[in-house]
Structure 1
């Protein structure tokens, strides 16, 4: 096995005992990406010392020891895995701890269950989770398999002194285990049927409709889903590779279509999932994945408790994790299998790092992958720069001179399947909001240049200016494999006439199109938009509007900078914060309803609230009939971004799109607060606050007022 990209260190027990602890520590530090915290480094040293004395009796066995093992596609890492006499031991160390905490026991059990459920070569193995609190004086004396009959032993606990004896006891208790597969460390990600069934049951409660933007007419979404399933069926029958591009305005139900296809494809009308027919829904939007996962998991957990079933929230989370995943982990799982460095710009699978499956070859990907917000995949430059540095966390997976954009690599990953595959790209118009997002153009280029055998099914709406600057037809002109299908556009019915019209109105407002006023006049009775210059008035309006469990919140662009004087904080960017902001109820100060923390376009894309307040800062200003873009220098002034090179033009597009995202997040109405700025001067005649001059805001306010938005 040796040097696997899935862990920081692995070797047989004999070599582990012969190596100096400093040498092993050096390998861990070298392969860890970024600077390991001092506490992590100290823990590694102690773990090596403890284990070198603990595993000595098995020096001549064929056991293996693995440090910091990555569970494929889940983004979780186990401190130490010991493969010994056919048993998989998961060890979680708490160095220096004497007390056993319930949360630590849950953590090591979770790792064991994740291996059981998602790691092909652990499905039928005996898995033994052990928590090692190094200073703990007692050791578990009862060793028994769990009541679930799943070959996972109930978690055991030990201090460093009792660990050797505990391992011996387990080996005595289970003497006849068959050998662990020699490819265990590079085992494919493969969910067990039970986990898929659980995810299905949980999805079918359809609580996902409560939190995905869902206004679309059922008939429209059903037609789109049926068309995609038909393409999948045809691809399987004819052994083809195919790709569908689905378009729809914000609120048209793209997320719902994606999740629905994932479930229907996996089951196809049967009670049990069909073997090797699965689909996965992938999104690069961390907050969206976190909020979807948590909402579904909590809903499932509550329903099981109501029925009197014993269940942990972590079990529900694991089940949802089968269907809904972060695209970067999916991508990194395939990256870990390539020959590195890449030679002659050609990607190839390294047989030493991958397992060849009967039908799929080295694919190790589902037949069907659904990419949400496909226009947000990374450009070649951004991905190549990222991989040259070695990513941003965890293993140092450095790939110099990577030859592809993210879209091309994702098609390549599914192209590795030797049988058939379908990709579904869900495309939002004008929603690229991060530098380095390639838009839809990159997918089409990859299909034209590298994957000419793929069949392309595309919505005719993709030719509109919001997508690939309207160049889709031109880009596809010479591609012989294209079918245009109106069913791939999520049109919106009368029932959700608001979403379609709101989207058009926002488009006109941002394009400075005179139509914006008449479009607004058509929706204002059903969808009020108010203007104010006073944040307190805006908050008052929101508090008066929401009833029952309706949600409200403050939104702001990530380029905004001068919101503190208005008593607003920006929500910290980790995913837990987004989950609390969207899902906690109004008694919890972390909830969006408190109107204290504002969320940015990154945190709310793909999700929505009932009523919103958009705080419009001086980063994008209406001046002399056009938009001007500014970036705060962090100290005392705003610098204008001028369109004098390609990067800056891109930047301006992303800033405009940030406002597009924020203006389409509210289901029922919104208030836009454009601050007055600070008009005061000091006794000596200087501005009191030169970063918030009234002129930075007045033009924007007057422009918005001219559209017909009413002042509070």
Structure 2
């Protein structure tokens, strides 16, 4: 598919009748063309043919693209002009007499997406332009970020030639072939929300996954699972797939892809996506509902929400239904997200006895959930999405409970896994894979993080940081510190100012901290304050309930499975360095108490692992100074932790 609906050398464009250009654009446009749209195109062509006549004097090889594909699933820039070695991204607002902040962010966002996700643009100078056809041009100077993307230029219908002339005089970049540039590959790295919306709109997983040879392709993992589902149905087998991956590698997206492809309840391979992560379920349902209601004629928000809720469900609701209904569920395929967080026998039994009145309940949650699917007489498939070091709450079993259940109670099932599952990152304690009915499949592991698209090494660096190995963490951070900034400060206002200075266009930012960070309260960080996740993650920067305001703080429970572009991480004395290793503390009543149980210590370490792997583009860590008079916030609680992070290579603002 061509990247643009119309493209031509500028000299040819200037000589082509308007009607012929609009006809070419309309022919490639998939949707029904409205009169307003063709009028907008005519306005664009009229302005461009008038304004660009003298650009050929600067660069006779200038090239123009209309409706140029931006690597974010369905987005297209109105016009991209390549001239004199510069990429001009021009967003038109035909008939507009002012420049709205939303329109400015749209133009800026297109330029940033090209820079970040289009291989041909990584080293190019990009200037976004917002052109309102009935507005007056704003005066400007070029403000260029470190990545060579300019701040948006706001012009009226007669300001384009001036911008191009001044840009060429200011920068004098090297010329390049526009045709070759346009054919370079895309490496789209959407947020979980953007990707879910794209899959829901029937985009393929290839559209949202990286395709470079160095990255494990989500498409391969999805296709592997789809083949296992297909073969299980044909051969009347019951199967479980363990899908592993580093933080941000796309495990949840793989699950959503399977669920969206088999969302029809009439489908013999009907699937449902289940998660015990309440905020993730809430945010994804809301995001899908908002997107469908906004882009579908006659679909209400309520109807769209009901539809989204059919294939994204809370695992606890699925479990509670199965307790009172002894028949097999209607779904033949269930995807359990964050399966390592399922409850062990002790926690599941305690809950059932106290809340459900099941006095004789004596199963772990994994064993019970497999038993529910085992009620199918012919075939079924369970897909367990596993994150290493992600257990963050009391009683979360990890992967061993799933393996024990399959081995001890359901040996007639086929179990598929990657050999990566056998490493200590995923299986804590001992488990003999030789006695389990397991079948190795290399494609069931995702090794490359897509969340932090600026670096693939963040999760590894965080692994060593959490382990207290400053030397190794520093060595890894040096590989990407110029791409993914990590800063720290003892001043919260300074941290907020820094993160606000980094954000461009519609990039997201938010404040996060451990749920145990109780003594950040005097600093203005209230981890016990409740908020609605859907508003915090989805509402725009004008809404005080949104993450952008840096007022409400999300904990590891709120943000696990989700992400932000820029994170402000509050670090309290619950996870403190003592000079040789990290100590694990819990604030109870009026004082700190040390965590003694190994699993409690692991939950806290994992909480900080989650917090430190949520950012896509960079983060700042705030560690308070402490107090000489408040015994709950002693200076010594924080000083050695700050020094340790400095040893990891993290610089002060």
Structure 1 length-normalised TM: 0.61
2:228 matches 1:231: yes
Change beyond 3 A, Cα 1:675–1:666:
same
2:488 matches 1:531: yes
Aligned partners of 1:551 and 1:611 also within 8 Å: yes
CA separation in 1, counterparts of 2:568 and 2:311? 33
Query: What pairs with 1:289-688 in structure 2 (closer than 5 Å)?
Result: 289-304=281-296, 309-337=297-325, 349=326, 362-390=327-355, 397-469=356-428, 471=430, 474-479=431-436, 481-492=437-448, 498=454, 500-513=456-469, 514-570=471-527, 572-573=529-530, 577-635=532-590, 637-642=591-596, 648-679=597-628, 687=629
Change beyond 3 A, Cα 1:215–1:495:
farther
CA separation in 2, counterparts of 1:672 and 1:215? 29
CA separation in 2, counterparts of 1:389 and 1:573? 25
CA separation in 1, counterparts of 2:450 and 2:536? 31
2:41 is aligned to none
Change beyond 3 A, Cα 1:658–1:202:
closer
CA separation in 1, counterparts of 2:551 and 2:361? 43
Change beyond 3 A, Cα 1:710–1:243:
same
Aligned partners of 1:677 and 1:697 also within 8 Å: yes
2:642 matches 1:701: yes
CA separation in 1, counterparts of 2:343 and 2:211? 29
CA separation in 2, counterparts of 1:455 and 1:319? 32
* Residue 263 (structure 1) shift: 2.1
Change beyond 3 A, Cα 1:662–1:215:
farther
**What is the count of residue pairs matched by the alignment?**
453
Query: What pairs with 1:37-52 in structure 2 (closer than 5 Å)?
Result: none
* Residue 496 (structure 1) shift: 6.7
Aligned partners of 1:216 and 1:496 also within 8 Å: no
Aligned partners of 2:216 and 2:447 also within 8 Å: no
CA separation in 2, counterparts of 1:316 and 1:494? 28
* Residue 499 (structure 1) shift: 5.2
Change beyond 3 A, Cα 1:498–1:548:
closer
CA separation in 2, counterparts of 1:403 and 1:628? 34
Structure 2: unaligned runs, 5 residues or longer: 1-195
Change beyond 3 A, Cα 1:694–1:219:
closer
CA separation in 2, counterparts of 1:475 and 1:562? 43
* Residue 562 (structure 1) shift: 1.2
* Residue 517 (structure 1) shift: 0.8
2:273 matches 1:281: yes
CA separation in 2, counterparts of 1:573 and 1:489? 35
Aligned partners of 2:452 and 2:616 also within 8 Å: no
Aligned partners of 1:203 and 1:296 also within 8 Å: no
Change beyond 3 A, Cα 1:265–1:609:
same
Per-residue deviation, residues 189-212 of structure 1 (Å, max 9, x unmatched): xxxxxxxxxxx9985337999xxx
* Residue 319 (structure 1) shift: 0.7
* Residue 591 (structure 1) shift: 0.6
CA separation in 1, counterparts of 2:267 and 2:477? 51
2:200 matches 1:204: yes
Per-residue deviation, residues 453-511 of structure 1 (Å, max 9, x unmatched): 0001001111221112264xx432112x2111110011228997755310100001111
Per-residue deviation, residues 653-686 of structure 1 (Å, max 9, x unmatched): 100000000000000000011110113xxxxxxx
CA separation in 1, counterparts of 2:366 and 2:506? 39
Change beyond 3 A, Cα 1:604–1:494:
closer
2:34 is aligned to none
Aligned partners of 1:613 and 1:672 also within 8 Å: yes
Aligned partners of 2:232 and 2:381 also within 8 Å: yes
Secondary structure of the structure 2 residue equivalent to 1:675: coil
Aligned partners of 1:287 and 1:579 also within 8 Å: yes
Change beyond 3 A, Cα 1:660–1:405:
same
Structure 1: unaligned runs, 5 residues or longer: 1-199, 268-272, 338-348, 350-361, 391-396, 643-647, 680-686
Per-residue deviation, residues 258-310 of structure 1 (Å, max 9, x unmatched): 0111122457xxxxx75332000000000000000101110111112xxxx23
Change beyond 3 A, Cα 1:496–1:700:
closer
Per-residue deviation, residues 395-450 of structure 1 (Å, max 9, x unmatched): xx311120210000010000000110000010000000001000000000001110
2:244 is aligned to 247
Q: Which runs of 4+ in 1 moved over 6 A?
A: 206-209, 213-219, 493-497
Aligned partners of 1:621 and 1:697 also within 8 Å: yes
* Residue 226 (structure 1) shift: 0.7
CA separation in 2, counterparts of 1:612 and 1:215? 24
CA separation in 1, counterparts of 2:384 and 2:501? 40
Secondary structure of the structure 2 residue equivalent to 1:250: coil
CA separation in 2, counterparts of 1:572 and 1:216? 41
CA separation in 2, counterparts of 1:700 and 1:204? 44
Structure 2 length-normalised TM: 0.67
Aligned partners of 2:452 and 2:617 also within 8 Å: no
